[in-house]
Amino acid sequence: MTGLKKRGSLFVLLLAFALIVAACSSDSDDTTTTAAGGDETTTTAETTTTAGTEETTTTAGTEETTTTAAAADLTAVKTCFVTDDAGVDDRSFNASGWVGVQDAVTAGFAQEDPILLESQSEADYQPFVEQCLSQGAEHIITSGFKLAGTTKEFAEANPDVNFTIIDYFSEAPNIRGLEYQTDEAAFPAGYLAAGTSQTGIIATYGGANIPTVAIFMDGYTRGVDYYNEQNGTDVKVLGWDVEAQDGVFTGVFDPADPSVRATCESQLDEGADIILPVGGAINNPCGTAIQDRGIDGAMVGVDADAFFAMPEALQDLWLVTIEKGIAIQVTRSLGDDAAGTWTGGSNVGNLENEAVGLSELHSWDTRVSDDLKAEVAQILEDIKNGDITWDKFVVGG
């Protein structure tokens, strides 16, 4: 890793961007099989997203669309969104993707009343995509790697239809794969955790050693190493080895599996007081374990701001969340389609294009010093500008 000494001029704001993390409300007509009624959109700061020929600005829970080109330059596309088997109310991938579709409608990129199909099991994937096509969808959004096989199959058979798949690599001309360089945000999150830990031991574990999981763990660990380098400390990380590119994994993504809590418990036994679980709701049993033990500790969330996305009983435990701009990238994809500039292939979100970032500190804001906040903000800027670099995970092939 190539690191720079801390600069004298530091930014005092932690947040570089805000990412939409929960679903918007929507209405449906007879062409919509399942409607997401009463969902809420939660944002954490201000961000500006340019997609196609319009610019959408989201500010702390409110949205407005500023048109920068004539509406005639856009052709709104008929859109269909297929969730994985967690449904649209997962408060994570599916919810955020559906927000992106709704934002595209508001911006004029997608036609009114987009089709929403909520899978109850993997058996729904194929018939639901077929249903999208039978209802005339011009752009189909599939949510998550579980739908990769189905997406590829139907994209090959329907070359005139554009597909966007969330969190999966693509080389197909009519599939845009949305991927995320999340180690760029995990790095400053690791620095923050190292500077906040009271025991000098932090930890991480994942559901499985797959790239979309390991990238968080790797960036996080490197951020702790950078903290030690800059501050002459020896904060230890349990659960990930940068050299071996391996670590601690539960082997499951089911929070009810006993191995999940047992994994967290073992790291707490070793003195960890801040833990990054990577794998959806496998963080919940860890939060409960921290509370049951009466530990003054914290967790780091992933994907959508865990303060809102996870159970309210755990809210005070979230130090920060390493966020993916799923809604932002979905809106951009539909915007490009509406503008006639859409292309397939891998599309990587990073700090530079504001599709990854850190959430607010929420309950921990008053517990983190202004100096540490400023250092984290500077690290975000330095990574964005290429002033801090390392051997990042290769995404997009």
**Whole-number pLDDT of residue 38:** 34
- Count how many domains the chain has: 2
Q: Are residues 292 and 339 in the same domain?
A: no
- From CA 333, how far away is CA 104, in angstroms rounded? 9
Q: Are residues 142 and 262 in the same domain?
A: no
Q: Are residues 216 and 320 in the same domain?
A: yes
Confidence of residue 49 (pLDDT cuts 50, 70, 90): very low
Mean pLDDT of 20-45: 36
Spell out the SS3 assignment of 300-312. Answer: EEEECCHHHHCCH
Give domain status of residue 94, yes or no.
yes
Name the more confident of 294 and 28: 294
Q: Are residues 187 and 317 in the same domain?
A: yes
Q: Are residues 340 and 314 in the same domain?
A: no
Q: Does residue 16 register a pLDDT over 90?
A: no
Q: What is the residue range of 249's domain?
A: 183-324+357-385
Give domain status of residue 174, yes or no.
yes
Q: Are residues 74 and 165 in the same domain?
A: yes
**Whole-number pLDDT of residue 342:** 98
**Whole-number pLDDT of residue 71:** 53
Instruction: Classify residue 135 by burial, with Cβ atoms within 10 Å: 0-12, 13-18, 19+.
Output: middle
Q: Are residues 280 and 340 in the same domain?
A: no
Mean pLDDT of 255-272: 97
Confidence of residue 108 (pLDDT cuts 50, 70, 90): very high
**Whole-number pLDDT of residue 396:** 67
Mean pLDDT of 311-317: 96
Q: Encode pLDDT of 353-397 as tens digits.
A: 999 999 999 999 999 999 999 999 999 999 999 999 999 998 865
Confidence of residue 34 (pLDDT cuts 50, 70, 90): very low
**Whole-number pLDDT of residue 33:** 37
Q: Are residues 341 and 295 in the same domain?
A: no
Q: Encode pLDDT of 252-262 as tens digits.
A: 999 999 999 99
Q: Does residue 17 register a pLDDT over 60?
A: no
Buried b vs exposed e over 311-332: b needs ≥16 C-beta within 10 Å?
eeebeebbbbbbbbbbbbbbbb
Q: Encode pLDDT of 154-202 as tens digits.
A: 999 999 999 999 999 999 999 999 999 999 999 999 999 999 999 999 9
Q: Are residues 62 and 195 in the same domain?
A: no
Give domain status of residue 307, yes or no.
yes
Give domain status of residue 164, yes or no.
yes
Lowest mean pLDDT among 3-12, 80-89, 372-381, 388-397: 3-12
Q: Does residue 293 register a pLDDT over 50?
A: yes
**Whole-number pLDDT of residue 72:** 55
Q: What is the pTM of this model?
A: 0.81
Q: Are residues 255 and 315 in the same domain?
A: yes
- From CA 203, how far away is CA 286, in angstroms rounded? 11
Mean pLDDT of 329-337: 98
Average pLDDT, the chain: 85
- From CA 230, how far away is CA 53, in angstroms rounded? 43
Amino acid present at 136: G
Q: Are residues 191 and 169 in the same domain?
A: no
Q: Are residues 254 and 226 in the same domain?
A: yes
Name the more confident of 68 and 306: 306
User: Both tokens of residue 374?
Assistant: 């400023």
Give domain status of residue 26, yes or no.
no
Give domain status of residue 27, yes or no.
no
Q: Which residues contact 380 (CB under 8 A, 6 or more apart)?
A: 16, 185, 188, 351, 357, 358
Confidence of residue 66 (pLDDT cuts 50, 70, 90): very low
- CATH number reported for the structural domain that contains residue 132 in this entry: 3.40.50.2300
**Whole-number pLDDT of residue 48:** 34
Give domain status of residue 118, yes or no.
yes
**Whole-number pLDDT of residue 64:** 39
Mean pLDDT of 296-311: 95
Mean pLDDT of 335-339: 98
DSSP E strands in 326-373: the ranges are: 345-349, 356-358
Give domain status of residue 8, yes or no.
no
